[in-house]
Amino acid sequence: MAVHEEGAVTEARRTGAQRAGPLAGTRVLEFSQIIAAPLAGMLLADMGADVVKVESPRGDRTRRSGSIAPGTSKRFQWLNRGKRSLVLDLERPEARALVYERLLPRFDVVMNNFRLDVARSLGVDYETIASHRPDVIYARVTGFGASGPLADDPAIDLIVQAYSGMMADEGRLDAEGTPIGTQSMWVADLIAGISTALGVTAAVHHHERTGEGQLVDASLLRGAMAAIGSSVMREPVSDAIFGMPAFERVQALIEDGASFAEVTNAWGEGNPLRQLGAVRRLYQSVYMAKDGPLVLGATSPGHREAIRGVLGTRDEGGDDPDFDPLDPVMLAEVEELRRELAALIRERPVAEWVEAFRAAGAPVAPMHFSPQLANDPQAGPLFADLDDPITGNQSQLASVFEMSATPVRAAGPAPPLGRHGVEVLREAGLSDAEIEALWACGAVGEGA
């Protein structure tokens, strides 16, 4: 698949393909698994950092998560592209000595997202690493944070979605009325990973100016709470009207043994902002056209007026200052109008609606499924081809942002397990005899 590029920034990337990224020369030793820290490492690698992923002899579990090809998966390939792989058995003292004595002097950044107690048991916790390299930049991602009663608890995205209040705010239920989290993305992991990369980048800048290392702390809990920041914040004026009365209803229902569906409904019931949101979603929703789904995204009275003009529908009054979102008569009219809109949009194909709404200045787009994006005329130019040593040619999103002077791009495919062990160890000054001795004792795993 060809790489499509257009625009000033992508032109700079094309003509300066050999130019160094903004983090070129920065070396990262990544003790990571699953999502958050691997994502942070991938972003740093995209920015030009030399990222060495340290794995156990069994490898990162995402190599086997949804795996079709041996030793890799699409998730692993995405989260670990552009890195080198080194296999160490950190349960062996020889491996830990290798880290402290030979590897740390060559690396600027150490990252890890093990549980705190696991990192301590393997000797790669911040205190231990900093005792061997005081000026190190050390980034860690934990589940609930590095302090507090849950600091050593295991956590995954779903757990933190529930703990943070995100799951309650989402109010999504399965057919049995059981709460479910977001399924298409790992919200807490995603924000924690991006936050870690941001923190490391800032710490590198600080280190270059002062020579001082520091600890960068991120957590899934912070990430989830950031996603619903205005909901978790406490503000006395709004809370007295909206938040606390709803929460008191929720508590009473829980004490009475209510179902989760009843509790969720109570959380949103009577909140004018939520009810007004239901009105707004007339024009911020997915509708099925004749040949597929499309989404309307109105965010202003002008957008809503433009949509009504295209559809020829009446004004439900949601932008009127006297509109009462708690009036059941008004809400019934809104629901009736939603059914009318759905039936009307169903009559014409997506392309016709998109053309009409765009001509009127209303935000609209077809709803895509993920396999469509690589060949899409808008999204396709954001992809790059990588030659994976296991699965062959693949197309990935080239980068999450671009820079005009210092290229940000996928540096290469994800590595086979242990592929770069000899290379990394030789760079650290080890002789072939020393490397063979580490292999023999099991401290270092032989590459694929």
Contact 345, 289 (CB under 8 A): yes
Query: Can you give the pLDDT at residue 334?
Result: 81
Query: Can you give the pLDDT at residue 72?
Result: 95
* Angle, CA 96 vertex, CA 95 and CA 99 arms, to 5°: 90
Helix (H, G, I), strand (E, B) or coil at 346: coil
| pLDDT tens digit sequence for 6-51 | 333 333 333 334 579 999 999 999 999 999 999 999 999 999 999 9
DSSP state of 347: T
Q: What is the dihedral of CA 334, 335, 338, 342, to 10 degrees?
A: -160
Percent share of the chain, pLDDT over 90: 73
| pLDDT tens digit sequence for 252-262 | 999 999 987 88
Query: Can you give the pLDDT at residue 99?
Result: 98
Model confidence at 276: pLDDT above 70: no
Contact 86, 52 (CB under 8 A): yes
* Distance separating alpha carbons of residues 395 and 406, to the nearest angstrom: 22
Residue of 217, 178, 222 whose CA lies nearest to 200: 217
Query: Can you give the pLDDT at residue 18?
Result: 54
Beta pairing, strands 284-289 & 27-31: unpaired
> What domains are defined for the chain?
8-227+380-441 (3.40.50.10540), 237-270 (no CATH), 272-367 (3.30.1540.10)
Query: Can you give the pLDDT at residue 143?
Result: 97
Position 164 confidence tier, pLDDT thresholds 50, 70, 90? very high
**Inter-CA distances, 270 with 239, 247, 276, 329, Å:** 13, 11, 10, 15
- Which one is predicted more confidently, 281 or 17? 281
* Distance separating alpha carbons of residues 6 and 117, to the nearest angstrom: 48
Starting at the edge strand found earlier in the chain, the sheet holding 284-289 runs 284-289, 292-297, 364-366
| pLDDT tens digit sequence for 184-195 | 578 999 999 999
Q: Residue 8: what residue type?
A: A
* Distance separating alpha carbons of residues 186 and 172, to the nearest angstrom: 16
Contact 187, 223 (CB under 8 A): yes
Query: Can you give the pLDDT at residue 167?
Result: 86
* Distance separating alpha carbons of residues 23 and 201, to the nearest angstrom: 8
Angle at which helices 272-280 and 328-345 cross, to 10°: 20
* Distance separating alpha carbons of residues 313 and 337, to the nearest angstrom: 8
* Distance separating alpha carbons of residues 215 and 297, to the nearest angstrom: 41
What number of other Cβ atoms are within 10 A of residue 314's Cβ? 10
Q: Report DSSP letters for 354-407, one per residue.
A: HHHHHHTT--EEEPPPGGGGGG-TTTGGGEEEEEETTTEEEEEE--SS--SSS-
- Which one is predicted more confidently, 301 or 218? 218
Instruction: Return the minimum-mean-pLDDT range out of 117-131, 245-259, 353-367, 375-389.
Output: 245-259
The count of C-alpha atoms lying within 13 angstroms of the C-alpha of 49, restricted to the half-sphere facing its C-beta, is 27
The count of C-alpha atoms lying within 13 angstroms of the C-alpha of 283, restricted to the half-sphere facing its C-beta, is 27
